[in-house]
Amino acid sequence: MNIVSIKEEDIPRAAEVLTTAFVNDPIFKFIFNDEAHYETAAPWLFSTWIRWSVMFGNAWMSDDGKAVIIMRSLEHSEMSLWSMIRAGMLPTPWKLGWRAFKRFYFEIVATLDKKHASIMGKQAHWYGWMVGATERGAGSGGPLINHCANIADEKGLPVFLETATPENLPLYAAKGFQVMDSTVISTECTIYFLVRQPRNAGLSNHQTLQKNESTIVHS
């Protein structure tokens, strides 16, 4: 299986993958509270997130079209209003409807942002936004996680992500992630916050120091 960068023309297909992957995810069940509403609004919502990642972060998919991962990069771990507008997110409240948008923005996003900030602080890192596969257990998601982890290792950066699916925790543990915290959103939705430290951090930090020293000498 090869891993390819998502391009503009791939966004609808990638959004379908995430829609299928997250149909039973506790976070999205909490947000939409209705499967029909999810099936109507989620493809549009995911397409804007993928477009943002293509424009400002990182987005990959398996060449068989069965798995997708989107990342917020070091340079754009936070989403500015202007970047969200450019990615087409402005109509989100109308597309989701007020009740779903209220749960999405004022409960889920507010909680995720608060936990993200408290765990990572100002430390440079990658934010693993979403990883999903159409066939659970088919092995498509693992290589994508490995791909991002390898790049993070090369940069000497930790990776932060969340999951509300407890069955995912052993998979992430096998990839080097540790649960740093959790929070209960509802009786059916507990979100876990995980961090993977770079495996060659010492070498990468030394290389970064050399690069910074070189920049200072030649400036």
According to the model, what pLDDT value does residue 71 have? Answer: 93
What is the pTM for the complete model shown?
0.87
Q: Which of 74-78, 87-91, 151-155 has the least mean pLDDT?
A: 74-78
Contacts of 61 (CB under 8 A, 6+ apart): 3, 4, 6, 10, 13, 14, 17, 67, 68, 69, 144
Write out pLDDT tens, residues 176-219. Answer: 999 999 999 999 999 999 999 998 754 444 343 333 332 222 22
Contacts of 124 (CB under 8 A, 6+ apart): 74, 157
